[in-house]
A and B are shown apart, each in its own frame.
Chain A
Amino acid sequence: MVTAENALSIKEWNRSASELDAYKLRDDFPILKRWVHGKPLVYLDNAASSQKPQAVIDAIEKVYTDSYSNIHRGVHALSQECTSAYEEAREKVQNFLNAAHSKEIIFVRNATEAINLVVSSYGRTNLSRGDEIVISAMEHHANIVPWQILCQQTGAVLRVAPMTDEGELQLDEYKKLLNDKTRFVSIVHISNALGTINPIRDIIAAAHDRGVPVLIDGAQSAPHTSIDVQELDCDFFVFSGHKLYGPSGIGVLYGKTEFLDSMPPYQGGGDMISYVSFEKTLYNDLPYKFEAGTPHIAGAIGLGAAIDYLTSIGLDSIAAYEQELLEYATRALAEIPEVRIIGAAKEKAAVISFLIGDIHPHDVGTILDQQGVAIRTGHHCAQPIMDRFGIPATARASLAFYNTREEIDALIAGIKKVIEVFG
């Protein structure tokens, strides 16, 4: 929470923010130049999906213009070029997450599919009646529903670690949930609805003390903070390309070799086999065992370009800048008496869920949109969080490194317009 005491002065702000020049970086994103309803676009819906830099757009165009072909199949030049580019993208992801091996990087559609892969393959093989899975109270539906389906199929039981009124995970309660029946822990790194950054090191260590594997949902963290899966020691880590300034339709599952090797395939088809006859089929090695069928080739290459782009800016610079922008926005919102911020974790990413008096977030969203300000309204695919706070929905501004203080000012002006309309 930002107070007058710890808020940055404008002078300090200018100095610290100068390390990352958002105004210059904005030029890399063609879409940020467009206007909406006669106003310059102010895009504050980055937690839903982020915009794409020219480098990513160019990389995708280059695939289709220069060297597109199917991969891992042809002996011809295009297939070799395209295969190389696709596998280079895998290595870029490996380096981005600091995974030990590139074969631990599985390309999927998105974080949702990555979780479903683990649930279907690892979960159905290893969990049975009475076994327990631990998640948190602030999960996205993508980290709730697949486990519920597994529970219906196997008789396993879903346990939910609670959170405080500030939106912080109750770590002691989480630890109490771990017992001899616990077979899996699946926890979100950063909450998409509240911005809470969970203490995943402690979460992982506590589970590992009992020999329980851990999946970290990094959909909101990978684009905004540096990740080292070896240092974290998580067993699985998932994220989506489209929130990471890359294309939609491509995502990543990282898994430790020991787990991925022991898991059965998620889908059967081409590319995931080494030998097929009607009597017997031998599966391919990692990572191909989990990549049945022709993948999103251009998507993976585009994701590689997004990672290059982000790495050139530096995830630490991005995190520091977004933190400053969050403080600026939080302070400005706190000055409007009608605004109530939902989620006040001490460790928080640049996601602000808020309510304006008793005005429904949908009305807020429509009026802000008329001012060119794009925010998300609704339950953010996290209805249990809304129930926890006894609210049907929130308005949510989620920031990226290309957002500026002027855009926060536009949000504030838009909120004042909302209050004016609703008297």
Chain B
Amino acid sequence: MSELDELYQEIILDHNKNPRNFHKMEDANHMADGYNPLCGDKVTVYLHLDGDVVSDISFDGKGCAISTASASLMTETIKGKTLDEVKTMFESFHDLVTGRKDPMKCEVCVGKLKVLAGVRQFPMRVKCATLCWHTLKAAIESNEDEFVTTE
């Protein structure tokens, strides 16, 4: 598989074309906007937290295929997870797309997010894949402080 094919896998193109949980959430109790000034991408992440459980999550905005697919996959993956699990997943995902750790090790932790591993070959695109996660973190921190900052 060429680097390009690895980046634009079928599942990524599918999530770009038909993003999941792509809507504004009226009863969100946490939300945040994320911008990538480099490319003008904008994403808004809406959360409904019940205690420390992500009971619902959605997003909207405009972005490239990588950022849209990453946000779509993120919402699917973390729905129902606890904030501790979300934090661990973000760390593993970050390691996966930056190439900081062996992808095989990260893949176990991140589940289907592993389709985004191809991003590691494209350093300029890492921010596209992580924008939604940084925004999620900001949303969690938006009016409560149960999420521990790790960066």
Which residues of chain B are within 8 angstroms of A383 by Cβ–Cβ distance?
A: 40
Q: Are B4 and A362 in contact (CB under 8 A)?
A: no
- Verify if A208 is at the interface (C-beta below 8 Å from B): no
Residue of B nearest to A421 (CB): B8
Smallest distance from the beta carbon of B124 to chain A beta carbons, Å? 8
Q: Are A362 and B64 in contact (CB under 8 A)?
A: yes
Smallest distance from the beta carbon of A93 to chain B beta carbons, Å? 32
Which residues of chain B are within 8 angstroms of A230 by Cβ–Cβ distance?
A: none
Interface size grouping (class) on chain B = 20 to 34
Smallest distance from the beta carbon of B62 to chain A beta carbons, Å? 5
Interface size grouping (class) on chain A = 10 to 19
Among the listed stretches A48-56, A151-159, A313-321, A363-371, which one makes contact with chain B, having 4 or more residues with CB under 8 Å of it? A363-371
Task: Tell me the bound Cα distance from A379 to B35 in angstroms.
Answer: 13
- Verify if A359 is at the interface (C-beta below 8 Å from B): yes
Q: Are B4 and A359 in contact (CB under 8 A)?
A: no
Residue of B nearest to A37 (CB): B3
Q: Are A377 and B39 in contact (CB under 8 A)?
A: yes
Which residues of chain A are within 8 angstroms of B128 by Cβ–Cβ distance?
A: 362
B62-101 contact mask (Cβ, 8 Å, vs A): 1 or 0? 1111111000000000000000000000000000000000
Task: Tell me the bound Cα distance from A386 to B63 in angstroms.
Answer: 14
- Verify if A392 is at the interface (C-beta below 8 Å from B): yes
Task: Tell me the bound Cα distance from A393 to B128 in angstroms.
Answer: 14
Q: Are B3 and A370 in contact (CB under 8 A)?
A: yes
Q: A362-B66, A366-B122, A421-B13 are in contact. List 11 more A-B contacts (CB 8 A).
A: A360-B65, A360-B68, A361-B39, A362-B39, A362-B67, A363-B8, A363-B66, A366-B4, A367-B4, A378-B39, A392-B40
Chain B positions within 8 Å of A, measured between CB atoms, are 3-4, 7-8, 13, 38-42, 62-68, 122, 124-125, 128
24 contacts between A and B (CB under 8 A): A359-B65, A360-B62, A361-B39, A362-B41, A362-B64, A362-B65, A362-B125, A366-B122, A366-B125, A367-B4, A367-B8, A378-B40, A379-B39, A379-B40, A392-B39, A392-B41, A392-B62, A393-B40, A393-B41, A421-B8, A421-B13, A422-B13, A422-B65, A423-B13
